[in-house]
Structure 1
């Protein structure tokens, strides 16, 4: 990763997937094993992800997003959406912890820059997850507060307005191209890091730095 010479006013992060280890497949699989073949299971997980994206284009509480997208996916595969599965999926989010590369490098980063979270979740999810990250945050913003999920520009604009800041004030870090990197580019956030967790392909036209770990980002920032 090349040197980042820009000194941001804020470093903003996506939370789930980027900082918190997003383990949706692990939450869903126990309710599908024996009902789907391995190939069908892989397709189910992919379709479930697609429906979650579709559901967040209009704000609803995140538990409702998960339930609706899971039910839609089950219908596609001719399965009943069991109440126990829905409860387990919505509860799982509250129990996930950080990626192993996060706490130490994040705490080091917080010594040099104000850190901000802009998350596609509700306040109660962040109240459970943020303390596990091991670093202080200047501000934590949820879709619930913004009334919109990323990639809606409204979510980013809520963060700008709350901090009285402009797009050029941020270094934005995310492991999601569709939710974060693309809309950040469209809004004029020139300094972005795609933290590659394997969710999305590289999209060089969107002008970001690419990194594998937060430690790489710290090295690029010279800290």
Structure 2
């Protein structure tokens, strides 16, 4: 972040993982139905994450389809039969997820002082359910469905910029995902980025973001 008490026009956020707890493991385990050992689970989990990333780097498809196709692709790699309707089950799970415990109070304070924006890798129907659980008012909520592209594709970020008639300098962006958000945004010229470290991604030196461990800590940087 450029300086303490920096005042951006917008504070933008990734949603799932950053604000909403990305609790995908329990559904993944249920769909596997004991077909993997505990020793195999960490490697499958990591590969599933990689396949989700690969799936969104192509043409846009609905989020449930992303989840279904990526799960079934990695299952085949492990010699496992695909699960019919896996996407719908993942979708139901996503819609049940709640905010991280440390989100609502500091986010509400932030929203009383700044215009808050979400740029999410999901469809409108997911954000319609999830955003009210965050406890803050948002100036705008943008989705992959609206942009017809998922982060890290530049089209997703350009959609936010074009719709707001804004420039990268107008934002402070907050994400728990270096690979989806912070790395491409650095390359697009966003100068003020926050890595909210929730343990999803490793730290990636050289991308000019500031690391915090809570929204309370970020509020202190903002002078709130």
Task: Check whether TM > 0.5.
Answer: yes
- 1:138 matched to which residue of 2? 139
TM-superposed deviation, 1:2: 9.8
For the 8 Å contact 2:2–2:192, the answer to whether it is kept is no
CA deviation vs aligned residue, 1:94-136 (integer Å, no higher than 9, x gap): 1101001100000000011000000000000000100000000
TM-superposed deviation, 1:43: 1.1
CA distance in 1, matches of 2:132, 2:57: 28
**Structure having the larger proportion of residues in helix:** 1
CA distance in 1, matches of 2:15, 2:119: 7
TM-score by length of 1: 0.96
- 2:34 matched to which residue of 1? 34
For the 8 Å contact 1:193–1:209, the answer to whether it is kept is yes
- 1:66 matched to which residue of 2? 67
TM-superposed deviation, 1:204: 2.4
Mapping of residues 181-196 of structure 1, within 5 Å: 181-196=182-197
For the 8 Å contact 1:98–1:132, the answer to whether it is kept is yes
Mapping of residues 80-95 of structure 1, within 5 Å: 80-83=81-84, 85-95=86-96
CA distance in 2, matches of 1:51, 1:196: 22
Matched, 1:19 2:12: no
- 1:204 matched to which residue of 2? 205
RMSD: 1.5
Q: Specify every segment of 5 or more residues in structure 2 that has no aligned partner in the other structure, as ranges.
A: none
Distance 1:68 1:84, change over 3 A: closer
CA deviation vs aligned residue, 1:12-40 (integer Å, no higher than 9, x gap): 00000000000111211123253111121
TM-score by length of 2: 0.96
